[in-house]
Amino acid sequence: MNIFKFTAEFDSEESCRRHFKEERDKIGVICQKCSNTTHYWIKSQWSYECKSCRSRTSLR
């Protein structure tokens, strides 16, 4: 995808973040500390928090 297609598909940072979150949710999130697969979504921080050890994982 080139920069022109990217800006045409994502008109704002918010829409880009939503897209990456949807893709990440499809794949799933695995905690790097404890390998747990259940997480909370913290919208104000745009990150996932592990339900077991409370470690946070960003969309990146």
Q: Could you give the count of Cα atoms lying within 13 Å of 20 in the half-sphere of its Cβ?
A: 14
Checking if the pLDDT of 52 tops 80, the result is: yes
pLDDT band at 10 (very low <50, low <70, confident <90, very high): confident
Residue 48's pLDDT is what? Answer: 96
Checking if the pLDDT of 2 tops 90, the result is: no
Residue 5's pLDDT is what? Answer: 79
Q: Is residue 9 in a domain?
A: no
Checking if the pLDDT of 7 tops 90, the result is: no
For residue 14, CA distances in Å to 18, 19, 39, 46, 55 come to 6, 9, 21, 11, 24
Domain that holds residue 22: 14-58
Q: Is residue 50 in a domain?
A: yes
Q: Is residue 3 in a domain?
A: no
pLDDT band at 6 (very low <50, low <70, confident <90, very high): confident
Structurally, the chain folds into a number of domains equal to 1
